[in-house]
Amino acid sequence: MKVLAATLVSATLLASANASADTQFVALDNSPGTELCMAFASNKPLKMQKAIKNNRVKKHQIDDKLACNNMSLAEFASVYGLNRTSKFMNLDVSTSTSIKDLAMAKKELVYISGSK
């Protein structure tokens, strides 16, 4: 039973990693909000922490005020499968299950703009 649970967890993590790997994010401008959104979209907590420090903001300020592509951070994370940075930011992201044919998946290009 433990082996089955571990296998399911591994498969879920791999699927979420593949979902975000198929998406390429491009910044629309050089504003601080867009820089923070790009760091969030990288799905790398250390990159997010560095962007927070460089922009001299606090994590709790970003949760309330930052919007990426006119979506809250939690909504943005759930749409693009950004589990690692959402966990770093202590966001409650509801999980959903879906089946995606990875062989037919196309690379998606997403332009990001942050709130000003």
Whether pTM exceeds 0.85: no
* Residue 26: exposure state from Cβ atoms within 10 A (0-12, 13-18, ≥19): exposed
Give the residue among 7, 19, 11, 6 at the shortest CA–CA distance from 78. 19
CB-based contact 108:23 (threshold 8 Å): yes
Q: How far apart are CA 38 and CA 25, in angstroms?
A: 7
CB-based contact 73:63 (threshold 8 Å): yes
Q: How far apart are CA 90 and CA 49, in angstroms?
A: 13
| pLDDT for res 43 | 95
| pLDDT for res 17 | 44
| pLDDT for res 101 | 55
The residue that leads in pLDDT, 7 or 74, is: 74
Tens digit of pLDDT for each residue in 50-101?
A: 999 999 999 988 888 899 999 999 999 988 989 999 999 998 876 555 555 5
Contacts of 33 (CB under 8 A, 6+ apart): 66, 67, 113, 114, 115, 116
> Apex CA 111: angle with CA 49 and CA 65, to 5°?
45
Question: Quick one: pLDDT band at residue 112, thresholds 50, 70, 90?
Answer: confident
**pLDDT, mean over the chain:** 77
